[in-house]
Copies of this chain bind each other. A is one copy, B any other.
């Protein structure tokens, strides 16, 4: 499989405020041709750094895209750095200078002397026309590697890539196609997932699998490289099916859906409604559910009962229950879920009560102790968790656990 690298040039990209987003668009285009990225680099406007990075990239990759540093000013040194890296001279191109001059004439302006710099071309290279700016691009082959140099602004470099570079790369790519899929898993650790599915993914030569932990869930990233879209899709379907069979209900999403989208879809499909009572998550579950357009068809109401009095007055939790077991207890979690469900007249009620920290803990009730409550028309039950992390993370993980608990209950009640 051919490998590519992207080198973004510009000292402003090395400040805390700016990020290179150009490369995402190029990555997608390259991936579609079956080309994967080996590395990305961001270099300041320093000739030596750009030269070194390009030389290193030429040693290990087949296609190198450089963006930025083609402007008319002194600090734009990309053209020179590329020429020096591959030891070719820069030659002044009178025709190109005229083309640039004409662009200025169209704007009724004389060409500044500095823009002459943009009319120097690397010997043996092809000039890539820039319809939206003055800086021309460069395409050159060197030791069977392809070097593509484009200006920094996306409105200039994207049309140039599509019209001039893609046709060249397409000729080489044959029929190779790369397709991706993400499978999301809850309630299992990274290594447990890997242990369970390694025998599946290791059976495929053209499949790359990476397992990532993402705050409150495990993501399985599948990347397949095939000689047709159909064959890529087929492999992805097959592997996804095997992983789902192996991991069962722990898989909550195979098509990019988030947990709140999955829960929302299930409620909609089953024509059920939900009410939510939150203590330590403070509104996060309601917020996540209502982030989805159309949530009003299944989400009836949410209560953030932070104070004990609010739990009694708004959720009908018996004061005596709080006194006996404490606000952070299985009993109170269940009473909250029952209370909010009854008040709202919904099919399901879920609740969270816990200690998100940094204060409020005791030896019996440590930071991270969380009870998830669930109620439907037949029962109320709860789940005890000890969640790692700081306040923010504990709240997020508790919200995820509550949504996941509901998801599992809905799926179980409908498979009986």
Contact = CB atoms under 8 A, between A and B. Distances in A.
B190 A17 contact: no
Interface stretch (A108-116, A237-245, A317-325): A108-116
Contact of A391 (B190, B293, B301, B313): B293
A106 to B, nearest CB: 8
B290 A302 contact: no
A52 interface: yes
Contacts of A48: 60
Contact of A38 (B49, B282, B289, B291): B49
A41 B19 CA distance: 12
Interface string A260-287: 0000000000000000101011111111
B72 A190 contact: yes
Given A12-B221, A290-B304, A301-B306, A53 B39 contact: yes
A189 B71 CA distance: 12
A16 B28 contact: yes
20 contacts: A15-B221, A16-B25, A17-B221, A19-B21, A45-B210, A53-B56, A107-B388, A112-B191, A112-B195, A114-B194, A278-B283, A283-B287, A283-B290, A283-B304, A291-B392, A293-B391, A300-B306, A300-B307, A302-B306, A314-B314
A284 B281 CA distance: 11
Contacts of A38: 14, 43-44, 46, 49
Interface string A10-35: 01111111011100110110010000
Contact of A75 (B14, B21, B210): B210
A40 interface: yes
A167 interface: no
Interface string A161-188: 0000000000000000000100000000
A190 B16 contact: no
Contact of A191 (B108, B115, B293, B305): B115
A383 interface: no
Given A27-B16, A283-B284, A290 B306 contact: yes
Count class of interface residues, chain A: 35 or more
B132 A389 contact: yes
A388 B107 CA distance: 8
B306 A283 contact: no
Contact of A295 (B14, B212, B306): B306
Given A192-B112, A293-B391, A304 B307 contact: no
Interface of A: 11-17, 19-21, 24-25, 27-28, 31, 36-46, 48-49, 52-53, 56, 60, 71-73, 75, 106-109, 112-115, 132, 155, 180, 189-192, 194-195, 208, 210-213, 221, 276, 278, 280-287, 289-291, 293-296, 299-307, 309-310, 313-314, 343-344, 357-359, 386, 388-393, 395
Given A49-B38, A191-B112, A304 B302 contact: yes
Contacts of A192: 112
Contacts of A14: 27, 36-40
B39 A44 contact: yes
B16 A31 contact: yes
Contacts of A301: 303-307, 310, 314
A226 B395 CA distance: 41
A338 B17 CA distance: 41
